[in-house]
Amino acid sequence: MSESAHRELTGPVAGEKNLRPGPCVARPDAAPARRRPTPFETCHATVPAVCLAGTVALSMLAAQPVCVGVSLAGALAFSLAARGARATARGLVWQVPMLALVCLFNPLFSASGSTLLFKLGPRSVYAESLAYGATMGALMVAGVLWLEDAAAVLTQDRLLALAGRRMRSLPLVVSMAAQLAPQLLGRAHAVRTALDACTAAGPRPGRREGLVRTSTLLMGWALEDSLGRADAMRARGWESGLPRTCYRTERLRRSDVAALVGLAALLALAAAGAWVACADWRFYPRMEGLAPWWCYVPLVLLAALPTVVAAVGRVRDRGLS
């Protein structure tokens, strides 16, 4: 029997091992794939992009306790739906202390208000400035949560598909950079492993020297690769002189346009409501000027919308294993 015939039988399914044996880089076999249904997967990327961008912008601009509370609640609910309890909890581990810190620090810097709670040395702590701090802290947390949610929904390739026709090389640049980062990390790990394993070569170089050695080595390696990559690009018609076209995996359908129009209307209403709510509201000297309840209705709808979409998706998926 020939060597080739035997060789056929000597390996398993996976192909050649890449140079990323490190724990620092995601390996396909390292963990079972996290498969959580992604909300907004079945509509064009512009829909979640507009929805989430609008919500983030509104929550950042409406620094009023009720608006902020609504936004925070919406962001949290959507985070639970889109990212799961575990990821949300991991984020909250640092977000809650941040909120508390901002809340507590504000009275130390701005001693305004009329309801004196207590005195901390020479500083007076008022309920109003504490509330102001809490609102600002919650606003920051809500902003961060919405951005995390957006990242979970809009994967990089969906986001890049939104790039306009004039910026066609932008997606390419970004995707090359996105490839480079894990490759560099994997190689850095390979270089470090090799060096750590070569004890016969004497003591490890100092931290700084080691860093210089590794980065020089990786730079040379990447440059060498880039020559090969440039050839591979040219061999496939790069710089052919023809205008580049664009392969799109998503198409804007009529239903997407309808959703966008609806979203725009809701955003306008929510903005108007938030504007009224903020215009009447003041923290100092005492908190007053709460707008009537119907001002908040569009905002509540907007903040709840992503979670509702996620929930509807789940309901539609029921019966699937």
Q: Closest approach of Cβ 22 to another protein, in Å?
A: 8
Q: Could you give the C-alpha distances from 252 to 47, 155, 211, 257, 270, in angstroms and in order? A: 10, 17, 48, 7, 25
CB distance 43 to 255 below 8 Å: yes
CB-nearer residue toward another protein: 10 or 321? 10
Return the number of the residue (217 or 290) whose C-beta is nearest another protein: 217
Q: Determine whether 122 is exposed, middle or buried from the number of CB atoms within 10 Å of its CB (0-12, 13-18, 19+).
A: exposed
Instruction: Give CA–CA dist 10/193, Å, rounded.
Output: 27
Sign of CA dihedral 100, 291, 270, 57: negative
The least distance separating another protein from the CB of residue 161, rounded to whole angstroms, comes to: 10
Beta carbons of 60 and 143 less than 8 angstroms apart: yes
For residues 279 and 109, what is the distance between their CA atoms, to the nearest angstrom? 24
Q: How far is it, in rounded angstroms, from Cα 267 to Cα 51? A: 8
Which residue, 116 or 181, is less far from another protein as judged by CB? 181
- Nearest to 50, CA basis, from 293, 263, 209: 263
State the alpha helices, DSSP H only, in the chain: 3-7, 46-61, 65-82, 84-109, 127-153, 156-161, 169-197, 207-235, 254-280, 297-317
Provide the minimum distance between the beta carbon of 171 and another protein in the complex, in angstroms, as a whole number. Answer: 8
CB of 155 to another protein, least distance (A): 9
Q: How far is the CB of 192 from another protein (least distance, A)?
A: 8
Minimum CB separation of residue 83 from another protein in Å reads: 16
Cβ 42 to another protein shortest distance, Å: 15
For helices 46-61 and 127-153, the axis angle rounded to 10 degrees is 170
Nearer to another protein, 234 or 316 (CB): 234
CB 88 within 8 A of CB 76: yes
- Least Å distance, CB 146 to another protein, is 25
When the beta carbons of 220 and 285 are compared against another protein, the nearer one is: 220
Q: Considering the complex, what minimum distance in angstroms separates the CB of residue 260 from another protein?
A: 22
Quick one: 194 or 272, whose CB is closer to another protein?
A: 194
Distances (CA, A) of 279 to 14, 212, 294, 297: 62, 56, 15, 17
Which residue type sits at 300?
Answer: V
Q: Nearer to another protein by C-beta: 120 or 176?
A: 176
The gap between the terminal CA atoms of the chain, to the nearest Å, is: 46
> 24 or 272, CB closer to another protein?
24
Q: Which is nearer to another protein, 182 or 313 (CB)?
A: 182
Map residue 5 onto helix, strand or coil: helix
